[in-house]
Structure 1
Amino acid sequence: MRVVVALGGNALLRRDQPPTADNQLANIRRAAAQLARVAEHHDLVLTHGNGPQVGLLALQAAAYIDVDAYPLDVLGAQTDGMIGYLLEQELANLLPATRAITTLITRVEVDAQDPAFGHPSKPIGPTYTQVESERVAAAKGWNMAADGASFRRVVASPQPLRVLGIQVIRWLLEHGALVIAAGGGGIPVACNGEGNDLHGVEAVIDKDLCSSLLARELHADVLVIATDVPAVYLDWGQPTQRALGKVTPHELSEHDFAVGSMKPKVDAARAFVLATGRRAVIGSLEQIEAMLAGSAGTQVCQAPAEAAT
């Protein structure tokens, strides 16, 4: 099978961990152990989130006042290289030396007039208490929003329209490579209104929506959205909380999910299944083999769904 796996930022860096290099490497090693087993049997494309990492780079850049901070598209490219390098190295340590593994810095086109630019919603960076978030917002002019019980910076998250360089990814897959691409949702670029020239824009594309688009363009058999929970839940955090097993895109559309966390994953899975008729799975990276086998996670497919479990 051709499998696209979208690794959530929280699958690579746990919510309660500071974003240190050691913590990230430890989590990536655990992820690589799961992914290497999948790569032994399937054509594999990896994407990954970058919310914690790009936010940290933005904070570090803002702390040095003698030079203007780099824009988010440039910081996104930096995280692509950093996370891609770590994934590539750990996977290479587990797979045969003959298996090619490559990381691509991937541009993704968005619409410069996307309304998302006026309504920041993508959480990035570390979490803050409400008091801390108000202080940071006042000092840096950043938009902040609730993320569970904490607060995080939010930035524009426009819809991905086109993955640039898709031909290269296809060529690499046809030649047996494991490809890491479109990290952090890809580097957002848009037309400048004068011909077809592209320029970077101040945004972070949702990696799940971009992964869904990439999986469609690659004619993937399965889209796996790996996160830090075992499935999609209804009534999250309430006594009536329950996981969804097998569902159709229509059934998912009948429920509301948190905008900053599960909603993009659900929207991405629905879009892939509706466009291709194939299967998408949302669940824990630690159960990825069972997810591919259809026995774990929330299985989204066109067939009539079983009752939620």
Structure 2
Amino acid sequence: MNASKTNKSTVVVALGGNALLRRGDEPSFANQLDNIKIAAKAIAEIAKEYRVVIVHGNGPQVGLLALQNLAYDKVPPYPLDVLGAESEGMIGYMLAQELQNKLPEKDVTTLLTRIEVDCDDPSISDPTKFVGPVYDEAEGRALAEKNAWTMKRDGEYWRRVVPSPIPKNIIDKRSIETLLEAGQVVIACGGGGIPVCKCESGFKGVEGVIDKDLVATLLAKQLAAEKLLILTDAPAVFLNWGKENQQALRSVGPSELEQYQFPAGSMGPKVDAVVDFAEFGGRAYIGALDESLDVLAENCGTCVSLDFEAVPA
């Protein structure tokens, strides 16, 4: 595992797009900025104790850009990889500015990051990644028919789903390492990064939005980070979420966590991510944004580690 010249541990922080634009919020700049200020305050506290790389989601934002894209019908719509790059720049700028305001002694850099995926990834024919705003069923079905979108139920609402290819390699990893070694707070792989695949001329963009939690895990592994922290709107991983018998999982081994089923469009990828990183030998966490330091201190949230694997009798 990796540590800086100041002996600080490295933590990769995955920040959900819904934490930056909360479900049901008007998708305005002002609302996003208010939420980003909350996120920046929490992450700034982490950055005082750790080397930090931030990976953020972009589901609501890239979906909004796609809607804005459709409104201008004089040119063909931009592909999702380009819209992803736009959202990565937008959110990265807002995060960097607010973090710099909280940490004037540190440099903060946003890096547009390309992620290699498979051109024939199965998700292309079976999209699961939620993007954009929520709709009631009638409006969702109407938009699906009008725009040839795939829509799926997201709780009590309906949302558009798009392909979410599995990340294979972070092309710009060396740049991230260089910035970290220079003592910077780095914002990278935003929105899951820009999906590209190999072609005869080098690389080309892929229509899709990569899951940011899976990319955060890949980044944490490639950086040999000690910790992976997934911040979300849930205070922990729960069994029977939303029911009277719901139960928070606090300290759990990856093999136990793999036994449970979680929704594919929300907690499922987060659980897959922490299981993967824990099996790699790191320590992985899922918890609430406003409890981030306490989650890392294992006072709340869910911690996943090989240390918690059951010992055979």
TM bin, normalised by shorter chain, reads over 0.9
Match of 2:170 among 141, 159, 163: 163
Q: Please state if 1:178 is matched with 2:185.
A: yes
Query: Take 1:185 and 1:304, find their aligned partners in 2: how far apart are those partners?
Result: 29
Post-superposition Cα deviations, 1:134-180, rounded to whole Å, max 9, x if no partner, equal: 10001100000010010000000110000011011111111101000
Query: Take 2:296 and 2:244, find their aligned partners in 1: how far apart are those partners?
Result: 29
Query: Take 1:304 and 1:123, find their aligned partners in 2: how far apart are those partners?
Result: 32
Per the TM alignment, residue 16 of structure 1 is displaced from its structure 2 partner at its CA by 2.3
Match of 1:68 among 71, 76, 80: 76
What is residue 119 of structure 1 aligned with on the other side? 126
Secondary structure of the residue aligned to 2:279 is helix
Is the contact made by 2:10 and 2:226 (CA closer than 8 Å) also made in structure 1? yes
Per the TM alignment, residue 202 of structure 1 is displaced from its structure 2 partner at its CA by 0.5
Query: Take 1:18 and 1:216, find their aligned partners in 2: how far apart are those partners?
Result: 36
Instruction: Give 1:83's aligned amino acid.
Output: I
Q: How does 1:119-158 map to 2 (within 5 A)?
A: 119-158=126-165
Instruction: Give 2:113's aligned amino acid.
Output: T
Q: Please state if 1:26 is matched with 2:34.
A: yes
Gap regions ≥5 residues in structure 1: none
Is the contact made by 1:7 and 1:46 (CA closer than 8 Å) also made in structure 2? yes
Per the TM alignment, residue 96 of structure 1 is displaced from its structure 2 partner at its CA by 2.7
What is residue 59 of structure 1 aligned with on the other side? 67
Is the contact made by 2:255 and 2:309 (CA closer than 8 Å) also made in structure 1? no
Instruction: Give 1:27's aligned amino acid.
Output: N
> Structure 1 pair 305/290, CA: closer, same or farther in 2 (3 Å)?
farther
Q: How does 1:1-309 map to 2 (within 5 A)?
A: 1-97=9-105, 99-192=106-199, 194=200, 197-275=202-280, 277-304=281-308
Query: Take 1:25 and 1:100, find their aligned partners in 2: how far apart are those partners?
Result: 20
Per the TM alignment, residue 305 of structure 1 is displaced from its structure 2 partner at its CA by 5.7
Gap regions ≥5 residues in structure 2: 1-8
Instruction: Give 2:153's aligned amino acid.
Output: A
Instruction: Give 2:52's aligned amino acid.
Output: L
Per the TM alignment, residue 240 of structure 1 is displaced from its structure 2 partner at its CA by 1.1
Q: CA RMSD in A?
A: 1.0
Post-superposition Cα deviations, 1:50-104, rounded to whole Å, max 9, x if no partner, equal: 000000000010111111111000000000000000000001111133x111000
Secondary structure of the residue aligned to 1:93 is helix
Instruction: Give 1:38's aligned amino acid.
Output: I
Identity %: 52
Secondary structure of the residue aligned to 2:161 is strand
Is the contact made by 2:24 and 2:133 (CA closer than 8 Å) also made in structure 1? no
Per the TM alignment, residue 245 of structure 1 is displaced from its structure 2 partner at its CA by 0.4
Instruction: Give 2:266's aligned amino acid.
Output: S
Query: Take 1:95 and 1:238, find their aligned partners in 2: how far apart are those partners?
Result: 41
**Normalized against structure 2, the TM-score is what?**
0.95
Secondary structure of the residue aligned to 2:159 is strand
Moved >4 Å (runs of 4+): none
Instruction: Give 2:156's aligned amino acid.
Output: A
Is the contact made by 2:24 and 2:134 (CA closer than 8 Å) also made in structure 1? no
